[in-house]
Amino acid sequence: NAGVTQTPKFRVLKTGQSMTLLCAQDMNHEYMYWYRQDPGMGLRLIHYSVGEGTTAKGEVPDGYNVSRLKKQNFLLGLESAAPSQTSVYFCASTLPRRDSGKSSYEQYFGPGTRLTVT
């Protein structure tokens, strides 16, 4: 049981290049999320998905696209990278559950992808 994995771990892009970040989870979670983390700004939600074939925009979606063709995978694409997209990207997933009468949406995070755009 690997949990949440992300590929690649590191990447350097030139402005205008494209790339896809892959997130995979083996916990049969329904919901998946992409966040970016910048110094002093905490984690901000880019896009999320509540199930296979569905995606929705988060707080900072511009410049990114996502796809959820399979339940276990959530892909984040950058079509034309910009220096402002230099960041650490985290994927997360959750399976809503009830524990002792209360619902919990505890999110499990992947190890992150460090992306630098020059």
Chain residues binding another protein by CB under 8 A are 31, 33, 40-45, 48-50, 56, 58-59, 90, 94, 96, 102-112
**How many Cβ atoms from other residues are within 10 Å of residue 49's Cβ?**
20
Q: Which residue lies nearer to another protein by CB, 16 or 111?
A: 111
CB of 19 to another protein, least distance (A): 20
CB of 45 to another protein, least distance (A): 5
Nearest CA to 29 out of 48, 7, 9 is that of 48
Q: What distance in Å separates the CA atoms of residue 6 and residue 81, rounded to the nearest whole number?
A: 19
Q: Which residue lies nearer to another protein by CB, 1 or 103?
A: 103
User: DSSP class of residue 8?
Assistant: -
CB of 94 to another protein, least distance (A): 7
